[in-house]
Amino acid sequence: MSRLTFHPTPLAGLMIVERVPIADERGYLERLFCASEFASQQVQLPVAQANRIVTTCKGTVRGIHFQYPPHTDAKLVSCLAGKIFDVAVDLRRGSPTFLRWHAEELSSENHKSLLIPAGFAHGLQTLEHGCELLYFHSAAYAADAEGGIHPSDPKVGIRWPLPISEMSVRDRGHPALTGKFTGLTL
């Protein structure tokens, strides 16, 4: 029996993954990742790195981050505590949805993850205090390949649900996109 269900979004390759908990009087078991279940959806996600992120303050924005080729990576983002507004932006050159974004609310209660393919940028806003996330990445982080987009970039137009309460100096320093940015070639 499958413990994961996959749902497409309007952006090709970006999927919502619902985790199906198995509960009893002690609590529940929840599968976060299974290579064979992902493969049944024609998704290969070789896990090269896993990161845990804890954000204490509601309204905090993290991102919008991406990796330039050849270090682009797919990621599976899950919220283990709290609630977040999780955003993916299509940066794939030639994509019919280039620069479009899609967001999902992820929480410990709704048991959803977001599967973000290579060629997308990622960011999030915490909707509650005390959020904890788990990311599975298909490639290790490469500092020299890091890219970012300012979270308030008008060309992308993300509508954050809350006023931004906190953001890192690095994220505030990400530039807005210019006409010179033609996307990522994978």
What does the pLDDT read at residue 28?
87
List, in sequence order, every residue forming a beta bridge with 78; answer none if it has no partner: 113, 134
Six-digit token pair at 34? 């299974």
Q: Any catalytic annotation for residue 135?
A: yes
| Residue 129, CB-side half-sphere exposure with 13 Å CA sphere | 1
**SS3 category, 48:** coil
Query: Residue ranges of the chain with pLDDT lower than 50?
Result: none
C-alpha distances out from residue 18 to 84, 119, 167, Å = 15, 22, 29
Instruction: Estimate to the nearest angstrom the gap between the alpha carbon of 65 and the chain centroid.
Output: 9
The span from the first CA to the last CA of the chain, in angstroms, equals: 34
What does the pLDDT read at residue 2?
60
Tell me the chain's radius of gyration from C-alpha atoms: 16
Domain locations along the chain: 4-172
What does the pLDDT read at residue 178?
87
Could you say which of 65, 68, 71, 141 is catalytic? 65
- What's the sign of the alpha-carbon dihedral 13, 16, 19, 20? negative
Q: Any catalytic annotation for residue 28?
A: no
What does the pLDDT read at residue 64?
97
Q: Please, are residues 42 and 8 in contact by the beta-carbon 8 Å criterion?
A: no
What does the pLDDT read at residue 128?
98
Tens of pLDDT, residues 19-43 = 998 889 999 889 999 999 999 999 9
Could you say which of 28, 135, 137, 141 is catalytic? 135
Overall pTM > 0.85: yes
Q: 4-172, superfamily in CATH?
A: Jelly Rolls (2.60.120.10)
Six-digit token pair at 124? 């999030």
